[in-house]
Amino acid sequence: MAQSFDQIDYQIMLLLHQNARIPASEIARDLNANERTIRKRIDRLIRMGVFRLTAIINPEAFGYIMAVDIFLDVDSRLEDSIILELQGMPEISYIALGQGTRDVSIECRFKNNEEMHEFMRKKLPSIQGVQVKGFSLVPHVIRNIDEWMPKEEDFIASKSYDEREL
pLDDT tens-digit series, residues 17-72: 999 999 999 999 999 999 999 999 999 999 999 999 888 889 999 999 999 999 99
Q: One-letter amino acid identity for 73?
A: D
What are the pLDDT digits (tens) for 96-127? 998 766 899 999 999 999 999 999 999 999 99
In this prediction, residue 4 has a pLDDT band, given cuts at 50, 70 and 90, of confident
CB 124 within 8 A of CB 70: yes
In this prediction, residue 163 has a pLDDT band, given cuts at 50, 70 and 90, of very low
- Residue 116's contacts (CB-CB under 8 Å, 6 or more residues apart) are 66, 68, 108, 110
